[in-house]
Structure 1
Amino acid sequence: MSIATWVLLGGLILIAMILIGTLVERLPLSGAMIYLALGVLLSPYGFGILDLDPIVHAASLELVAEAALLISLFSVGLKLEVPILDRRWIASYRLAFLSMAITVGSIAAIGVAAMGLPLGVAIVLGAILAPTDPVLASAIQSRPGAGFDSTRFSLAAEGALNDGTAFPLVLLGLGIMQLHDLGDSGWSWWLVDVLWATGGGMVIGKLIGGGVGKLVIYLRTRHHHAIGMDEFLSLGVIAVSFGAAQSCQASGFLSVFFAGLALRRVRNFPMAGTLPIPRGHGAEEYDVLETATHSHHASGAMTRAVLGFNEQLEGIAELGMVMTIGALLPAVRSFAMLWWFVPLVFLVVRPASIVLGMAGAGVPMYKQVLMGWLGIRGIGSVYYLMFALNRGIAEAFAPDLVSLTLGTVTASIIGHGITVQPLMSWYERHQLK
């Protein structure tokens, strides 16, 4: 198709999503299910407009998935209001480190014992499918100003954290296949890929997000500079935190997430002799005109503006990536393995990893069951699949990785898309009792 036809098609899709958006909200469906169906219609299964090969186009798809993940990770960081060192993070760290590692090990064991995969390939498969997805989990994310909810918070934070914590295990699998340098006795992997990448990514993101946020607030409230252009601020913080971390061999994903967290936590610097804007009649008009430079309100105004822009980007990224997943489905070949593998992952591996990971934490069983089911897979898994394919996975195993990943992600989009709203409604009613 010509460029003009592609532009026309893209515009029609975007307008159609606006027109049917309210209708979709009333249906027991998620937006991702609509996007997935649209991608299938555009694929060779439908009209044949999008003909993508995940192996041939792996490099381009890796970049697109990486960009979508970065946008979502930053958005999740901006939405989480709990201080970084607060004890309420403990459950999320258990999920993102311990439960994630158990999931990788379990899937790897299944890959070796039941599929005959080499150990390195099996570990890569586990690391691809272990991370839950922050992009598709919008229905369970914590909502600013809605009060703290431990389950929503833990699931949202898990989805952001484990996109970074799974990366060392992908590298471990590649290293076993001689596609990544693990160092003598694995020392390089432990020191650089695990300890430094994780800790360094967190610290770099916190310093950049907090530092840039404080600078902007200072300039706005003291000098009336750096006002507006919050879109540039959002994209700039994402790019700088990711680029700085990657340049230092730290985790770019964790850096961007913690940059969002730190920016969200930037506090105002009230000037002596000033008072907050009073609530009540006329406050809205005053807020529109003056809040961005008011020393009591500048931080909140900055966060709202950056988050609003980033959520719009996140919606576009979700649309594009899930459509792409739908367009990639003709590449699925190993249907004989999918019928038992997918239920095993969702109904046994994920719940067991939650129970083991949360052991001794005092989390009620009904919450563990809910978290065990809501392990949504999505764009993070697609990114790690493309990353692995680009690092030279043997041709004999690439089709199986593609089939198992796309099949699992598609099942998650459909299964979780149908059940997440009823389950969260039940959960909220149960909480009120």
Structure 2
Amino acid sequence: MDSYIVVLTGFGAVVLLTAWLPMVLKELPLTLPIVCVALGAVLFAIPQVPGTIPHPGERLEIVERLTELVVIIALLGAGLKIDRPFHWFRWRATWRLLGIAMPLTIAALALLGRNLLGLGPATALLLAAALAPTDPVLASDVQVGPPGSGEEDEVRFALTSEAGLNDGLAFPFVLLAITLTGEADASALATWFTYAVAWKIAVGVGIGYLAGRTLGWLTFHLPNRARLSRTGVGFVALGITCLVYGLCEMAKGYGFVAVFVSALALRATQAGHPYQRRLHDFAEELERLLMMMLLVLFGGAITGADLLAALTWPAILFAFLAIFLVRPLAGWISLLGFARPADEKLLISFFGIRGIGSIYYLAYAMQNGAFEAPNLVWSTAGLIILVSILLHGVTVTPAMAHLDRRRRARAEAPPIRPREEARPSADQPSPDPGYGPGP
């Protein structure tokens, strides 16, 4: 059997399933990622399938580039569909998740990596940093709806904006882990802070904002005949993504941050224009197709490349603590004092989905630093991603439906008014105005 024909046939099936499955699964406690992983696991477990799928640790550069592409496309789509204008106060849930929940998650996972898995400081920090961000690709089911759809409650907004920014903001910790594999003296740490924290974040935000505003002007504010929006084509979104990411990376900034910020800036130039929806829809379609192919390969790596073969009982315990304790607890702590109902804060804390971004960080770091026990790291991360896909995929539909029902019930409930004092009727005597019984 010709391998090319098999791959071509499989690709056609994946494309058709990408379009069809979301409609079929919409009301079921299943998601597209679950089906993709299952499909890949079954397909590559068949001995007659020609060729073998490599372990991701054996093809680091390919894994890095493929995951990088799908992440940046997801970031553009996430930025374009946020209706809420940027504001320090109105985005306060985002800052809490980024400034409190993510550092707490990294610290807790690094400690667990040291004590449970016996990893060195650099490897424990790498694993923690790779697993800390909420994935912008797999979190699409808990994100806000398309531009202008009105599907932007506090839970969906918080998870969308967090996923849009924390992938880039986890990068300094990944670079710190790489630094720790060498001579991590005071000079090296000072250089890391100056370059990996201050410079690269500032460049990412700056280039993203300038590029987004410039592209917004070209798209919506040029003379009518020259406006980019007149083309009506959605693949402009792909050009924007690659251009902004490339410019930022050439300037040594965080391209992930730049792409998301550029999408926000582009949306702000003319938020209500219908072409915004066209750009978003194309980005979402392309993201879904690439995600499905990568998750089929992920499922194939589990059965065909023994991705989970290095698991130990401590690694399994680490995975379950990461999913069921560390992220939910860190998220809940970060939202203390945040004026929202407890069920909303619980959902924000629970849906810290791990996925494609974690694979990217591991592939990137392992090409740039010497980390011990790479197979154990890959197996542990693979198990966490698998459990996250299954757990969050099964619970997302009923959880979001519950959230919508509760929100509608609160909106329809009559306002609570102060209780009025009982007034005596005309045929009843007035109460004694005194403070005690009469003489």
Counterpart residue number, 2:433: none
**What does residue 31 of structure 1 align with?**
32
Matched, 1:400 2:376: yes
Report Cα offsets for 1:329-352 as digits up to 9, x if no partner: 122121423432222112210122
Aligned to 1:413: 389
Q: Which residue of 2 aligns with 1:59?
A: 61
1:188 alignment partner AA = T
CA distance in 2, matches of 1:225, 1:250: 27
The CA deviation at 1:155 is 0.7
| Residue 423 (structure 1) aligned to one of 387, 399, 405 | 399
Q: Which residue of 2 aligns with 1:115?
A: 117
Q: For residues 154 and 21 of structure 1, what CA distance do their matches in structure 2 show?
A: 23
Tell me the amino acid that sits aligned with residue 192 of structure 1. Y
Aligned to 1:130: 132
How high is the TM-score relative to the length of structure 2?
A: 0.86
Task: Give yes or no for the alignment of 1:13 onto 2:17.
Answer: no
Q: Which runs of 5+ in 2 are unaligned?
A: 410-439
Q: Tell me the distance in 2 between the aligned counterparts of 1:47 and 1:406.
A: 25
TM-score (normalised: structure 1): 0.87
Aligned pair in 2 of structure 1 residues 349, 224: CA closer, same or farther (>3 Å)? closer
The answer to whether the Cα contact below 8 Å between 1:241 and 1:255 also exists between their aligned partners in 2 is yes
* Shift of residue 7, structure 1, vs aligned partner: 1.4
1:351 is the counterpart of 2:328: yes
Match of 2:236 among 233, 236, 242: 233
Q: Is the 8 A contact 1:220 1:226 kept in 2?
A: no
More deviation, 212-221/236-245: 212-221
Contact 1:219/1:226, CA 8 A, preserved across alignment: no
CA distance in 1, matches of 2:87, 2:298: 37
CA distance in 2, matches of 1:65, 1:19: 23
Match of 1:170 in 2: 174
Question: Could you tell me whether the CA contact under 8 Å between 2:235 and 2:282 is conserved in 1?
Answer: no
Question: Pairwise mapping of residues 82-231 of structure 1 onto structure 2 (< 5 A)?
Answer: 82-143=84-145, 144=147, 145-146=149-150, 148-178=152-182, 184=187, 186-219=189-222, 221=224, 223=226, 227-228=230-231, 230-231=233-234
Number of equivalenced pairs? 401
Distance 1:227 1:421 in 2: 37
Shift of 1:71: 0.4
- In structure 1, the residue corresponding to 2:269 is in which secondary structure? coil
Alignment partner of 1:305 is 2:278: yes
- Residue of structure 1 equivalent to 2:430: none
What root-mean-square deviation, in Å, do the aligned CA atoms of Structure 1 and Structure 2 show?
2.2
Asked if 2 retains the 8 angstrom alpha-carbon contact of 1:39 and 1:323, the reply is: yes
Moved more, 81-90 or 157-166: 81-90
Conserved 8 A contact 1:37-1:326: yes
Q: Give the number of the structure whose alpha-carbon radius of gyration is greater.
A: 2
Q: Tell me how far apart the structure 2 counterparts of residues 348 and 371 of structure 1 sit (CA, whole Å).
A: 14
Match of 2:354 among 377, 394, 410: 377
Q: Deviations over 1:209-264 (max 9, x none)?
A: 11111122233526567631634421221112111111111110000011111111
| Secondary structure of 1:230 counterpart | coil
Conserved 8 A contact 1:73-1:134: yes
- Aligned position for 1:279: none
